[in-house]
Structure formats: C-alpha cells, structure tokens
Structure 1
Amino acid sequence: MAPNNKANKNKQNKQNKKGNQDNKSSNSKKRTVKKSSSSCCKYLLGSFVLIGAIGALIAYDTQVIGNGVFEKSATGKWLKKAGLLPYVESAWYKTMAVSARGYQWAEKNLPVYLKPAFDLSCDLLKIIRNAVFNIFEKLRELVSTNAPGVALKLEEVYSIVSTKTIEIFNITREYLAANVFVGSLSPENIGKALNQTKIAAARYYSIFHQKVDAYAQIQ
C-alpha cells in the first residue's frame, strides 16, 4: 500500500503544480489583454488627433496658399510631383463627402433627440428648485415658531444686505457709465460691433452650409 500512496501523492503534486502554472498563465494573459487594450485605446485616440491635425493643416494650406484649390497648394504640388495627387485627392473628397453627409444627418436628427433631454433637464431643475424652496420655507416656519427673535434678526440682516447691494450696484453702474463705457466702449459702439459680428457669423454660416451641401453631393 505504501508505494501506491507515494505514487498518488506524486500525482497530486504534479496536478497542483500544473494548476498553479495554468492560473499564472491565465493571469498573465489577462494582464497582457488589459495592457494591449489600453495601448490600443491610446493609439486610437492619438491616431484621431493626428488625423485631425493633418486635416487642419491641409485645409489651411489649401485655403491660404492654394486659394481654395487643393492642386495649387504646397501639399498638392508635392503630391503631384510624386504622382500621388489623383489618389490622395480622390480619398480627400470622399472623406469630405462622407463627413458632409454625416453633418447633415446630425443637424437634422440630433435636435429630435436633444429636445426631450433638454426638456427633462428643465423639469429636473424645476423639481430641485421647488424642493429647495419648500425646505427653505419649512426652516423659516420652524425658526419663526421656536425662535421668533432670531427670525426677526435674520429679516433685518437680509433687508440691510439687500439695500447695500442695490446701492453698490447703482454706484458701480454710474462709475462704469461715466469712466469706462465711453468712446469705443460706449453702448452704441458695442451694439454696432455686436451687429457686425452677427452679420459676419451669419455670412460664414451660409458659406459653410454651401460647402457642406456641395461636398454632400459628391458620389
């Protein structure tokens, strides 16, 4: 019987060692998967940032140096010499076409999804406001019932603070009107600048939409 027991013990020891090795290998595999996934996320994010930066530089080069024509830009001239211009230009226009269609879809459909979320957030804010107001009213009633003298003192302090705040606001407003908001910073000039900014923004938005519509029609 002794040899059989010894053989069984050796067999169990081998199985235990194998199990420990399997656990170690599985743990190492999990750590490797986690490291690879995190590194993939970092590389993916870096790739998007790099592609965005390259796209911005090419767009700037096309708009400023090429006067809106990609072939006349510095990048286009270099690609033309290398014989890669037709392929890169085709890929560029396809990318812009897909982006334009995506922008049109988002502009059309996202407000449909955003409006319920906005309404829900407004309702939540109203509920929170009403809850805070009710809590304040309960506290005021509790203080008035149990400590009427404290309530009167608080009302006096609130009245004094409100009066002083209004006085400081009026003094500040008069000072700014007399010493700061004059000349180019006068209300009239500021209003004109705001109107010009609105006109320029509307013009840019119109041009942007024209370009989006043009790119979206590319097949």
Structure 2
Amino acid sequence: MTKTHTAFNLCLNRGSFLDILDRMTSTRRFPWIWASFFLLVGIAGLVSYDVSRSGGNFPKSTTGRLLNDLGVLEHSQRAWQKSLSTSARGYLWLETNAPVYYTLTVETCTPYVLLSREFAYVAMKKVGVLYTNTKDYVAEKTPVVVATIEQYAPGLVDNVQSYTASGLEAVKKYSNDYYQLTMEYLKTKVFVGEWAPEILQNKTESALNVTRTHVSTYFHWFREQVHIYSKIP
C-alpha cells in the first residue's frame, strides 16, 4: 500500500512538473508567429520603398550598398527575393482568410461574451442592493450617532457642519477665480497669433488630410508591390 501510494504521488508530481513546463514554454500567451510575420512584412515594405527610390535597382539602394560593402550582396539578393515572395503570398493569404477566421472566432466567443455580460449584470444588481442596504442602514443610524455626540459634546455637530460648509464655499470660490485667471492668461498670452485656436485647428485638419493622403498612397503602392512579388517563384 505504501509503495503504491508513493508511486501515485510521484506520478502526480511528474504531471504537475510537465504541466508547469508546458505553461512556461507555451507560445499561446503571445502570438509570436503573427508578430514575426507582421514584423517581416513591415521590414519588407520599408526595404521595398528604399528600392523603389533608386528606380527599382536593388544594388543602388541604400540597403543594397550596405550589403555590397559587407560582401553579401549576391546572396542577400536571392534571400531578399525569396523573402519578398514568401511575405507577399503570406500577406495575400492573410488578407483572404483573416475575415473567415475572424468570423469563426466571433461565433465561438459570442456565447461566452453573453454569459460574461449576464454575470456582470447580476453582479451589478447585487452591488446595487448592497449599496441600497448600506445607505438605508446609515440613514437609520445617523440620528442615533448624532444624538450620542450631542449628548457628550453639545454643539459639536453644528460647528463641524458650519466649518465644512465654509471650507467648501472657499474652495469653490478660489477654484473658480483661478480657473478664470488661467483662462484669461491663456487667451491673451498663449493662444494668440500663430497659436490662435482657429489657426491651430486649420493646421491640424491640413496635417490630418496630408497624412491620410500619404497613407492611402502608400497602401495602394504596397498592394501593387505585394501582387508583383507574389508572382516571383
């Protein structure tokens, strides 16, 4: 019986150790594969842009000159074309299949999301009931506490209430004065001339429009490059 019990404990300990080892080596906590893929696509896009600036001539690009100085230009060109082709195919596959997997994920997770929402609703109702009971209890016991304080220290409650009201009024008054003073200073000393709100708003809108245009242009260029490189064997 003792040997059997010892063997059983050893099996349990071994199972726990393997479970801990599996958790430590698991990649499910962070999507390393997807992160690596997107990093590779990003690097490919940057290098492609560098090559396009030199008229499509890789050896004349900044990246090509660096690799030529290192003596690995020929091998890097083969590796570069292969990586571009693989990345382009992977991007096209992702563009085609990501919506499908997203739909499947939503369908799988929807019941659990609804369950979590119902649990949160029940929890909020319980918190509301607890708050109501606490408020009723405080309202019920407050007169007793006040009466006890008045019995041993007459006038203390009224004095505390008076001082509290005066302090709140003072804080409110000075806060409003400082707010008005700050706003007046900003209007007359800071946000004037080129820093006027209207000019800043126009500059912000112009910058957003230019950024949107550049992003759209880069995206169309990137898609064209993806289709070109995906045809490389």
The structure with more helix, counted as a fraction of residues: 1
Q: Which of the numbers 202, 208, 213 marks the counterpart of 1:198?
A: 208
Q: Does 1:158 align with 2:168?
A: yes
1:143-183 CA deviation, whole Å, 9 max, x = no partner?
89954554444333222211111110111122222332234
What are the ranges of 5 or more consecutive residues in structure 1 without an aligned counterpart?
A: 1-14
Moved more, 183-192 or 197-206: 197-206
Q: Does 1:189 align with 2:202?
A: no
Partner of 1:16: 2
Partner of 1:27: 13
Distance in structure 2 (CA, Å) of the matches to 1:80 and 1:30: 47
Distance in structure 1 (CA, Å) of the matches to 2:49 and 2:5: 65
Distance in structure 2 (CA, Å) of the matches to 1:170 and 1:23: 73
Partner of 1:64: 50
Moved more, 178-187 or 207-216: 207-216
Q: Which of the numbers 75, 78, 82 marks the counterpart of 1:82?
A: 78
- Return the TM-score normalized by structure 2: 0.53
Tell me by how many angstroms 1:95 deviates: 1.9
CA contact (8 A) 1:144 1:151 kept: no
- Which aligned pairs between 1:45-194 and structure 2 lie closer than 5 A? 45-67=31-53, 72=58, 74=63, 81-82=77-78, 85=81, 88-101=83-96, 146=146, 147=157, 149-194=159-204
Distance in structure 2 (CA, Å) of the matches to 1:21 and 1:34: 20
CA contact (8 A) 2:194 2:200 kept: yes
Distance in structure 2 (CA, Å) of the matches to 1:197 and 1:16: 78
Give the residue type in structure 1 aligned to 2:78: A
Give the residue type in structure 1 aligned to 2:13: N
CA contact (8 A) 1:62 1:68 kept: no
Q: Does 1:41 align with 2:37?
A: no
